Chains A and B, each alone.
Chain A
Amino acid sequence: MFWTVTQSLLSGLGTTFEIFLLTLLFALPAGLILALGTISRFKPLRMLIQVIVWIIRGTPLMLQLIIIFYGPGLWLGHNIWSGNEAGRVTATVVAFTINYACYFSVIFRGGIEGVPVGQREAGQVLGMTKSQIFFKVTLLQMIKRVVPPMSNEIITLVKDTSLARIIAAYELTFAGYSFMKSAGLTWPLFYTGVFYLVFVGVLTLLFNYIEKKLGYFK
């Protein structure tokens, strides 16, 4: 039985990992673009992004997931997500990307604004171009500032993937839960917890390593 459960959980972990990685892949650049939008001089753009961020951060991710998965089918009359597992994962990634891009954008904005103006000015008076100032002066300082809040958010993302169960995506929590439903077993639930703990543990080590690497300057 242990082996069956392990196999099943590993398969769930695969889906969890897929949602996690794809969300990061899309939400990180999207968050950076949104962050640049919120500090843009063009006021309508700033306002628009602020409203979007307000809506996305102000409503539950689970609700957003339900709307994105079921909404198109109800409004358009046909489901744009194919009804199989891949379709459910895709819908999850889309909902998560929108949600996490908004959270990331706030973190990125903090990182950009946290670099003192004097750094940019020092680059300017030394005749550097705008892109040289960004890549050679501000970027690394911004990354250093962003790592601790980002690690928080990314660890939350690992656990938020369990919300995909609501649209029946077969991720890790769904896999563990199914043994309770089918066989009345509770220990797979704890075993599932161990999977998350290991996942988050590895991420924590990774973030500690990055922080240490960037610790050579202040």
Chain B
Amino acid sequence: MSFLEVEHIEKHFGRTKVLRDVSFSLEEGNALAIIGSSGSGKTTLLRCLNFLEKPNAGTITVKGEKLFDSGQNNREREKDLRKKRLHFGMVFQSFNLFPQYTALENVILAEKLLAQSSKDISANYTAADIHIAEQQNFKLDKKKIMSDIEEHGKQLLDRMGLSERMNHYPHQLSGGQQQRVAIARALALKPDILCFDEPTSALDPELTGEVLKVIRSLAEQKTTMIIVTHEMAFARDVSDRIIFMDAGVIVEQGDPKQVIDNPKEERTKQFLSGYAQGF
């Protein structure tokens, strides 16, 4: 069984079928790239994984634990939902940093809130349990935990090359810097799988490089990732596996070099030729 198993996912918005029978798997430490034109369902797929949308059918399994199963009664409590969400991290196209907090505060906010509330949820808090250690010590040493969290946040921003920008507010940062803060924020909760939703699409061309560089280094460190992107060369280089989607279905998947250099399907060829012409 793979690290992540996604099976037969369907998603409808009214009559529109946005995702149709989408199945794929991902191994630990691998990077999966998803390519396809706008409206092909890539973003919706990521949103389903992060429980921002609820699929109409299918299952999602991480490390053998079934997180979503449309066959089951899925009216779950908010608490369980939040726990499941923590398996996935999400980096949005438009960054979605919290404007009223500094870069560092953005990175550590969720972790601090989680540590504060872990007192009350300790009994149910087992899966994806990155905070179990903190939880056990929580009452003993709150100050230490908070300073550890802050230290961890600083390290993450340092890894993103932002040690000079920790106390800046989002509006004082460039788009590329904001997106790197967003990546640090997603990493802070140590998700099993980090999702990127077109992380460079909202950036000026000269700023995409710095963000791609960070993602590349994450791939080198064997971070399990799903990257929805329009950067073909980057997808080909960085990912271990690639999926081409069109009209809500997976048209082709396989080795990135093979899919991009020698696509089998006609629709993939058409899509990629659009890029070759530099569009």
Contact = CB atoms under 8 A, between A and B. Distances in A.
Given A125-B50, A125-B52, A217 B99 contact: yes
A135 to B, nearest CB: 10
B82 A127 contact: yes
Interface in B166-185: 169-171, 185
Contacts of B50: 124-125
Contacts of A119: 96, 98
Main secondary structure of the interface of A (DSSP, over half): helix
B114 interface: yes
Contacts of B117: 129, 132
A130 B185 CA distance: 19
Interface residues of B, number: 30
A121 B185 CA distance: 14
B113 interface: yes
B52 A126 contact: no
B169 A125 contact: no
Contacts of B82: 127-129
Contacts of B89: 125
A128 B96 contact: no
Contact of B100 (A118, A121, A128, A140): A140
B78 A127 contact: no
Interface in A115-139: 116, 118-119, 121-130, 132, 136-137
Contacts of B113: 128, 132, 136
**A125, A128, A136, most chain B CB atoms within 10 A:** A125
Contact of A122 (B83, B88, B98, B169): B98
A42 interface: no
Interface of A: 116, 118-119, 121-130, 132, 136-137, 140-141, 216-218
